[in-house]
Amino acid sequence: MNVSSTHSIVISNTESIPGRNIVEFYGVVTGNTVRAKHVGRDIMAGLKNIVGGELRGYTELLQDSRKEATERMIEQAASMGANAVVNVRFATSSISQGAAELFAYGTAVRVS
């Protein structure tokens, strides 16, 4: 979903947006994706386990997941009329074999 690129929502993992004041706060917003890797990546990872080094396939996979989760979180904030999300945190967990959930959450606020 590319909707967030049209919003001008600022996010940060600090208590407040640096240099600005929180005027109103609304509540927790979350963004969520569950992705599965495919066999190709699995096989490459298996081979990499022997030689070591970066698993580039997985890096890309998780980067895309994180981007998507963040965009969903921002979309939730935008639907509340917020213009910033503070105290953003990420969480990754494995839901079942081969599927990882990526999770972003923060608080939707309006900053000055």
Partner 1 sequence: MENLSLFFNFGLPLIILMVAYFIGSTIEKKHFANIREREDALHGFPVVSFDTMPDDWNVSSSDMVTGSIVISLDYFKRVIAGLRGLIGGRIKTYEPLLERARREALLRMTESARTQGYDAIFNVRLETSRLANASRDGKGTAGVEMLAFGTAVKLKGRFG
Partner 2 sequence: MKFIAKKPREGINVSDEHPLVEAGTLVVGLTAIFIVIALLLVFIVEIALYFVPAETEAELFWDWIPEDLVTVSPNDERLYRTQLLVDRLVDHWADAPYDFRVEIDDSSVANAMALPGGLIIVTQGLLDQVESENELAFVLGHELGHFRNRDHLRALGRGVVMGLFFAVITGNDVAGLGIKATDITVRGFGRKQESKADEFGLAIVHSEYGHVNQASRLFERWNETNQSTSAFVAYLSTHPQPGDRVADLRAIAERDGWQIDGEISQLNWDRN
| Binding residues for partner 2 (CB under 8 A) | 21-27, 29-32, 39, 42-43, 46, 72, 75-77, 79-81, 108-109
Min dist. Cβ of residue 73 to partner 2 (A): 9
Task: Count CA within 13 A, CB hemisphere, residue 20.
Answer: 17
Residues 6+ apart with CB under 8 A from 57: 37, 40, 41, 44, 45
Our CB check for partner 2 shows the closer of 42 and 64 to be 42
Report, in Å, the least distance between residue 25 CB and partner 2.
6
